[in-house]
C-alpha cells in the first residue's frame, strides 16, 4: 500500500516539476462549449440532429447547450445574440429564415465565434461549414419516383400533379424546384403549385380540403408536400375524404408519414433526411472550427422510403433513436 502511494506521489510531483496541473488540464479540455440552435423542436428531425450533436460533443469532451427557436425568426435572432454574449466557442444553427439570420451570423463573425450552418444553406454570410441534405436533390428523387408511379398507372408518364408550396421557407422552395425539374421533362404532366397559408399540418389540410373540391375524383393524380407538416396535412385531408385515386409523395420522416407508408393506401413515398449524419457532420465541423479550420459544404444524401422498404428503415431508425434517447 505504501509502495502504491509513493508511486502516485512521485508521478504527481513529476507532473508538478514539469509545470503540469492535471486538474487544470481537464478543466481546459472541458471548457469548450458549443451552442446548438434548433429551428423547430416540434419536428423529430431537429431533435435528433441535436441529440447526435450532443453525443459527439460528449465523446470529445465538449459541452453542448441546446436551444429551440420554435420557428420564430425573432427568437432565433435573440438566441444567437445570447450565444454570442455568453462567448460560446462555436454556434451550430439551423435557420428559420436564411435571409433573416444573416445579421446574427455577421455579429458572430465580428465576435470571432465560428458558425456552423445546417439544414437550409445560407448565402451572404461567412460560415465555417454548411451541412444539409441537398434539398433540391431530395426533391428530384421524389419527382423521379412520382414519374415512375404515373408510368405504372397510365403506361406512360402523364397526369396531373399539385405541389404544395410556402415561398417563405427556402427549404421547401429548393425541394419543390427539384421535384418540378424532374417532371418538367415530361410534356404530358401538368404541374400546379398551390400555396399554403401556414407551413403546418393544419395549413396543409385546409388547402388540400379545398383542392379536393376543385379536383373531383379522377382528375388529380399526385399531391406533393415537401415537408412533414404540409404532407401530413394533405394526408389527413385525402384519407378523410377516402380519395384513393390520389397518391401522396413527401419529404421528411416523421412518425405519421412512416406509419402511412405502412398502410400504403394514400401515402406512397417520402424522402427521409438523415438527421443522425447531419448532426454528426455538423458537430465534427464545429470541432474543426474550434481549432480554426473550415470544413465547407457537406451534403448528406436523402433516403427514399416506400412501402417496400419502410419496415427495414423503421427497424434501423428505431435502433438509432434508442441509442440517442439519453441525449435528447
- Architecture per CATH, domain 135-272, reads as 3-Layer(aba) Sandwich (3.40)
Show me where the domains of the chain are located: 30-133+275-300, 135-272
Confidence (pLDDT) at 246: 98
Angle between helices 44-59 and 310-324 (to 10 degrees): 50
- Taking a C-beta distance cutoff of 8 angstroms, is the pair 95, 39 a contact? yes
Give 116-149 as a DSSP string: EEESSPP-SS--SEEEE--HHHHHHHHHHHHHHH
CATH code for the domain defined by 30-133+275-300: 3.40.50.2300
Helix (H, G, I), strand (E, B) or coil at 180: helix
Confidence (pLDDT) at 28: 46
- Taking a C-beta distance cutoff of 8 angstroms, is the pair 294, 90 a contact? no
Q: DSSP letter at 39?
A: S
User: Within 10 Å of residue 246's Cβ, how many Cβ atoms?
Assistant: 25
C-alpha to C-alpha distance for 261 and 250, rounded to whole angstroms: 11
C-alpha to C-alpha distance for 267 and 222, rounded to whole angstroms: 10
Confidence (pLDDT) at 8: 36
Question: Which phi and psi angles does 261 have, rounded to 5°?
Answer: -65, -35
Q: Closest by alpha carbon to 87, among 112, 115, 53, 117?
A: 112
C-alpha to C-alpha distance for 265 and 247, rounded to whole angstroms: 8
Q: Which residue has the cell 444553427?
A: 93
Would you give per-residue pLDDT tens digits along the chain (328 residues)? 433 333 333 434 344 443 434 333 333 445 899 999 999 999 889 999 999 999 999 999 999 999 999 999 999 999 999 999 999 999 999 999 989 999 999 999 999 999 999 998 999 999 999 999 888 999 999 999 999 999 999 999 999 999 999 998 888 999 999 999 999 999 999 999 999 999 999 999 999 999 999 999 999 999 999 999 999 999 999 999 999 999 999 999 888 999 999 999 999 999 999 999 999 999 999 999 999 999 999 999 999 999 999 999 999 999 999 999 999 9
- Taking a C-beta distance cutoff of 8 angstroms, is the pair 280, 52 a contact? yes
β-strand partners of 305: 270
Distances in whole angstroms, Cα of residue 155 to Cα of each of 158, 199, 265, 327: 9, 35, 20, 49
Confidence (pLDDT) at 30: 52
Confidence (pLDDT) at 150: 98
The CA-based angle 238-272-275, given to 5 degrees, is: 135
Helix (H, G, I), strand (E, B) or coil at 40: coil
What is the reported pTM? 0.76
Q: Which residue has the cell 400504403?
A: 264
- Taking a C-beta distance cutoff of 8 angstroms, is the pair 134, 302 a contact? yes
Q: Which residue has the cell 415537408?
A: 227
User: Within 10 Å of residue 3's Cβ, how many Cβ atoms?
Assistant: 7
Confidence (pLDDT) at 171: 83
Is it true that 30-133+275-300 and 135-272 share their CATH fold?
yes
Q: Where are the beta strands (DSSP E) in the chain?
A: 33-38, 63-68, 90-93, 115-118, 129-132, 159-165, 189-195, 222-225, 247-251, 267-272, 296-299, 303-306
- Taking a C-beta distance cutoff of 8 angstroms, is the pair 285, 131 a contact? yes
List, in order, residues 6 or more apart from 169 with CB less than 8 Å away: 199, 227
Amino acid at each position: 500500500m505504501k509502495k502504491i502511494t509513493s508511486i502516485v506521489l512521485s508521478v504527481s510531483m513529476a507532473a508538478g516539476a514539469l509545470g503540469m496541473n492535471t486538474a487544470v488540464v481537464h478543466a481546459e479540455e472541458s471548457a469548450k462549449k458549443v451552442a446548438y440552435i434548433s429551428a423547430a423542436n416540434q419536428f423529430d428531425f431537429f431533435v435528433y440532429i441535436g441529440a447526435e450533436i450532443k453525443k459527439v460533443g460528449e465523446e470529445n469532451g465538449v459541452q453542448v447547450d441546446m436551444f429551440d427557436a420554435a420557428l420564430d425568426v425573432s427568437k432565433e435572432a435573440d438566441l444567437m445574440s445570447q450565444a454570442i454574449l455568453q462567448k460560446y466557442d462555436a454556434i451550430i444553427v439551423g435557420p428559420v429564415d436564411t435571409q433573416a439570420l444573416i445579421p446574427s451570423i455577421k455579429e458572430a463573425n465580428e465576435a470571432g465565434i465560428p458558425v456552423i450552418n445546417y439544414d437550409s444553406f445560407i448565402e451572404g454570410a461567412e460560415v465555417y461549414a454548411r451541412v444539409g441534405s441537398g434539398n433540391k436533390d431530395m426533391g428530384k428523387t421524389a419527382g423521379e419516383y412520382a414519374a415512375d408511379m404515373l408510368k405504372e398507372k397510365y403506361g406512360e408518364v402523364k397526369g396531373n400533379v399539385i405541389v404544395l408550396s410556402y415561398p417563405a421557407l427556402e427549404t421547401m422552395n429548393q425541394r419543390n424546384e427539384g421535384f418540378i425539374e424532374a417532371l418538367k421533362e415530361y410534356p404530358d404532366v401538368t404541374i400546379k403549385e398551390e400555396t399554403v397559408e401556414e407551413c403546418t399540418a393544419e395549413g396543409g389540410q385546409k388547402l388540400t380540403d379545398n383542392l379536393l373540391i376543385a379536383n373531383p375524383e379522377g382528375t388529380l393524380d399526385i399531391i406533393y408536400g415537401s415537408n412533414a407538416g404540409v404532407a401530413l396535412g394533405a394526408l389527413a385531408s385525402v384519407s378523410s375524404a377516402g380519395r384513393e385515386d390520389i397518391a401522396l409523395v413527401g419529404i421528411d420522416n416523421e412518425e405519421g408519414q412512416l406509419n402511412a407508408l405502412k398502410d400504403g393506401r394514400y401515402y406512397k413515398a417520402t424522402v427521409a433526411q438523415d438527421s443522425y449524419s447531419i448532426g454528426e457532420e455538423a458537430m465534427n465541423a464545429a470541432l474543426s472550427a474550434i481549432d480554426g479550420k473550415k470544413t465547407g459544404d457537406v451534403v448528406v444524401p436523402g433516403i427514399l422510403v416506400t412501402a417496400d422498404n419502410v419496415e427495414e428503415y423503421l427497424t434501423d431508425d428505431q435502433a438509432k433513436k434508442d441509442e440517442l434517447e439519453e441525449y435528447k
